[in-house]
Amino acid sequence: MIDYRTLRDWPFPVIEHTYTTDDTMRYALAIGLGDDPVDENQLQFVNDVRPGLPLAMPTMAVVLGFPGSWMNDPATGIDFSKIVHGDELLEIHRPLPAAGTVLAHHRVVRIVDKGTGRGATITYEKELFDKSDGTKLATVRHTTFARGDGGFSREAGLTDEALTAPAPVPVSAPDRVCEIATLPQQALLYRLCADRNPLHSEPSVAIKAGFARPILHGLCTYGIAGRVMLAQWCACDPQRLKSLFVRFSAPVFPGETLRFEMHEDRGAIAFRAWSTQRSQVVLDYGRAELR
């Protein structure tokens, strides 16, 4: 069972992560860029033959300084077999360099007991700094839904207030629609960027978890959302994406086509994404703030 104070004070080491332009291009390829190999807008993220290239995708910040599967440590009290990714918020302060060394500072910022049988949410935050000059590059807020850990506050009475609910996506006809076909091997590509959870690569593990086959990483789907926002609303200029939020509502299977429905909403872009094969919403409450 979760002990609120132990988990709230979880001791993360500062993670130093050095990455190269090969890593930057690998991430872009893993979220599907380059599917049109003569599209100059895509090539700027996956090609390094010209000066100043490649550019880094802003959403690569979510894989830099990855803390590993720390929730699998028995001392957390979390039932690791029952966790799912709840939502992700990225705030971009400065464009990511195409290569360099970053320092990642992690901390647990919120633990919410939803009640016995209803699970709990654990939110941790990562601040990413450029080691060379101390510049803050990005802040990432990652929320996990721990389905098996509700009711922990009955003993100590400690829990946090839930985050404010995100604004819903308008129900009117979307202003723009975009479809992106994922690759059958996309999870195998994306796992080379950070998360080696066998749920995304080993059929027997996926079946044991209740899926017919391995599923795509939620953060890969998140990266695809960032790709769509840049292409549709930012003229493929990574400096124009200020923040990106999504709530993960259903898994994606590699090879499915994602349909993004987007609305201009008070200076931002509200969106959701569907699996066209299953007519199921896989990302909801999406919101991109632009510069």
Residue 89, Cβ density class (10 Å: 0-12 exposed, 13-18 middle, ≥19 buried): buried
**Of 32, 136, 125, residue with least CA distance to 87:** 125
Name the β-bridge partners of 196: none
Amino acid letter for position 39 = D
Helices then strands (H, E): number in the chain? 7, 10
The fold of the 4-290 domain, in CATH, is Thiol Ester Dehydrase; Chain A (3.10.129)
Decide if 200 is catalytic.
yes
User: Is there a contact between 132 and 100 (Cβ–Cβ < 8 Å)?
Assistant: yes
Can you tell me the distance from the alpha carbon of 119 to that of 86, in angstroms, rounded to the nearest whole number? 12
Every domain of the chain and the residues it spans: 4-290
Can you tell me the distance from the alpha carbon of 175 to that of 262, in angstroms, rounded to the nearest whole number? 6
Distances, alpha carbon 278 to alpha carbons 60, 70, 138, 259, in Å: 28, 33, 34, 11
- Active-site entry in 195, 217, 263, 284: 195
Can you tell me the distance from the alpha carbon of 281 to that of 274, in angstroms, rounded to the nearest whole number? 4
b/e per residue 130-148 (b: at least 16 CB within 10 A): beeeeeebbbbbbbbbbbe
Please tell me the pTM assigned to this model: 0.96
Can you tell me the distance from the alpha carbon of 157 to that of 4, in angstroms, rounded to the nearest whole number? 9
- Active-site entry in 106, 142, 200, 217: 200
pLDDT at 136: 98
Tens-digit pLDDT string for the chain (291 aa): 999 999 999 999 999 999 999 999 999 999 999 999 999 999 999 999 999 999 999 999 999 999 999 999 999 999 998 999 999 999 999 999 999 999 999 999 999 999 999 999 999 999 999 999 999 999 999 999 999 999 999 988 999 999 899 999 999 999 999 999 999 999 999 999 988 989 999 999 999 989 999 999 999 999 999 999 999 999 999 999 999 999 999 999 999 999 999 999 988 999 999 999 999 999 999 999 999
pLDDT at 155: 85
